[in-house]
């Protein structure tokens, strides 16, 4: 009936991509980990290929992020000008992971999507 390669228990990590002028908003959700990091990497590569001046990653629906997924974010950040990749609205656990990993010192983290878009 459907594609059996994707577990029916897991939703796709990329929930949506939309342009807002020169900024692209990428909505991620669920668990970001080794098993779906490539999906996130491919989506970000497509976004970066379009040459936006800024990319905002909405993390409000992200429940968990592992080191592989953090690496994908760092990789995307390295392909953009300084501060052009912004993380928005991480939940408490995700925010804690960003702080423990030190990634919050290398990527701007905003409390809201609107704050990151401003």
Structure tokens at 33: 């980990």
107 within some domain: yes
Number of domains in the chain: 1
29 found inside a domain: yes
Residue 7 lies in a domain: no
Output the domain CATH number for residue 26: 3.30.750.24
| Rounded Cα distance, 20 and 74, in Å | 23
Answer for the pair 72, 41: CB distance below 8 angstroms, yes or no: yes
- Residue at 3 is within a domain: no
Q: Dmax of the chain from CA atoms?
A: 45
Compute φ and ψ for 62, nearest 5 degrees: -80, 125
- From first to last of its 118 residues, what are the pLDDT tens digits of the chain? 444 455 557 789 999 999 999 999 999 999 999 999 999 999 999 999 999 999 999 999 999 999 999 999 999 999 999 889 999 999 999 999 999 999 999 899 999 999 999 9
């Amino acid at each position: 009936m459907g594609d059996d390669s994707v577990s029916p228990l897991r939703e796709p990590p990329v929930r949506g991509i939309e342009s807002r002028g020169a900024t692209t908003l990428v909505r991620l959700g669920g668990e970001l980990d080794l098993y779906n990091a490539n999906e996130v990497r491919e989506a970000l590569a497509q976004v970066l290929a379009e040459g936006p001046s800024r990319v905002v990653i909405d993390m409000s629906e992200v429940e968990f992020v592992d080191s592989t997924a953090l690496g994908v974010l760092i990789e995307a950040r390295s392909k953009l000008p300084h501060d052009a990749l912004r993380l928005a609205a991480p939940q408490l656990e995700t925010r804690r992971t960003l702080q423990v990993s030190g990634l919050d010192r290398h990527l701007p983290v905003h409390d809201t999507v609107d704050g990151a878009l401003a």
